[in-house]
Structure 1
């Protein structure tokens, strides 16, 4: 069994976290990961309070294992956070901005706290806030991320915040990536794109198909989105989202000033297409790992495959070093 210190801290069986991914989230999705011994996460970013409330209330009916509820300080929904505190989840996570006093409030209800960062300076700040676990996210990641690569970021963060455990995120899609994260000093991984290409992921089939069919170079940073919807990208940690290229992105990426002038119209267009199940026509959130993902599997199959591959990779590395 693939176990690290993270398993003891978070009360899980395998050191794998299903990332909280904005609107690509649900209680059912989180529970499918938690029930396999990983840590499922429920996201709140840009979601209505009623949807977040429903997931928080439903998840304990779907799993008796630990899970996390994620909040983003730059876009914090006060009602959703109050409901989270009332639910006293095992873990509360934060991303995209300094949570400040929110960490103390989470600890006061007995929750462990994870904070996702994109730079060493942010990691040090997270440690000072009292984070129990720090997720260091490299720029290869999908969704809102920074610019420093995972390979460069993880060991620097590990050195800066020791002995606080560090989880690696960005650029990991198989067991070899998990083994590599361990070699960099991480005690676990936080994965998004690999799980988006799963049967349980609450996104459209066209989005899943786009991930499987894409090459890594198709997943590009879209400054355009910060022009149209400045929060959370331009606030907090100053992140930029990554998406597989679409005709919408190609049309507007080089016309950013025009996009800023048409902000309300374009944002309404994005929202309407998302609500109609056609989000893949505008943004297809994905990390650069899309190039290595070739099939849509169940969450259980993904977790079992990841752990088996990681164990093989670690054993092979040990044999290689022993000659």
Structure 2
């Protein structure tokens, strides 16, 4: 963080230089219908780093977004890939597009890091344990995202507060980004105090006007309490991702009748997983997603407004600058 004269604080960190962005805020790469070129561009155009997700998406949708985002922004953006379920066609298309950043999550990317570097892209790797962070550093990551268990996306059991400083200590001088449990400027300031140089945020941006999800999903986030966002372990029974057992990650969802029911029948869910996954998708298509799966992190309890992406980023920046400018006075109390 760079501090100017008096109490003015400019929210710029070394992450901004590494990724070529103005503010150290990353729109998390999310899967399924929660990702689009338009969504990513909205974040990038405001000086943050927008991300395009690939999980649970078709090759055509990913390729469309990689091509389209360049028409919507001249700023840097990231394209995310999941090593255990890598879409080889979409990854080749990503490499050909040479985005500023290629990110990986939910598994060891191995040689994919070298391939990304070979086309000139920076590499971010998201991890959920210290051991994974060490592995990511050894692979040559330019940035490491340490995601705590509070997050809505597939996360582990270690909290952000405990995970981030440990990761900072073992991977220094590689920049570390904090994820999970951050929804306002106070969370950004706290991440900096833990040694992170930026934040990766998903749930706060899902509750935005540009998020390509149903209004009912956004409204559910804005009206939920933190305790409503629960780990849905049964989803790994219904739709097991290769590598999730070893990586130890579980998605969070706001409580729904479907997940409440099948969470008590996990053996049956394992046997009937394909049918149940089809049912989840079918209900979503007809506007009944609220009955099955509403991905969200524990920050949902602190989110009460659905704003534009630009408004969210400006609000986050102003709040963080205000908190950070009070640092010396707070420490003297």
- Alignment partner for residue 82 of structure 1, among 82, 87, 92? 92
Secondary structure of 1:240 counterpart: coil
TM-score, normalized by length of structure 2?
0.95
Q: How does 1:244-263 map to 2 (within 5 A)?
A: 244-263=254-273
2:2 is the alignment partner of 1:8: no
TM-score (norm 1): 0.98
Aligned residues: 323
Question: CA RMSD of the aligned region, Å?
Answer: 1.0
Question: 2: CA distance between counterparts of 1:57 and 1:320?
Answer: 47
Alpha carbons of structure 1 residues 235 and 48: separation in structure 2 relative to 1, 3 Å:
farther
Residues 1-323 of structure 1: pairs in structure 2 closer than 5 A: 1-23=10-32, 24-232=34-242, 234-235=244-245, 237-323=247-333
Shift of 1:279: 2.1
1:233 shift after superposition: 6.5
Secondary structure in 2 matching 1:143: coil
- Does structure 1 conserve the Cα–Cα contact (< 8 Å) formed by 2:13 and 2:198? yes
TM-aligned CA deviation for residue 278 of structure 1: 2.7
Q: Which whole-Å CA distance do the structure 2 matches of 1:199 and 1:114 have between them?
A: 27
Q: Which blocks of at least 5 consecutive residues in structure 1 are unaligned?
A: none
* Residues 181 and 87 of structure 1, relative CA distance in 2, 3 Å threshold: same
Distance of aligned partners of 1:105 and 1:236 in 2 relative to their CA distance in 1, 3 Å threshold = farther
Q: 2:106·2:244 contact (CA, 8 Å) conserved in 1? A: no
Instruction: Output the CA distance in 1 between the equivalents of 2:246 and 2:99.
Output: 24
Deviation at 1:274, TM superposition (A): 2.5
Change in 2 beyond 3 A, CA 1:221/1:232: farther
Q: 1:238 deviation in Å?
A: 2.4
Runs of 4+ in 1 over 6 A off after TM superposition: none
**Cα shift at 1:234:** 2.5
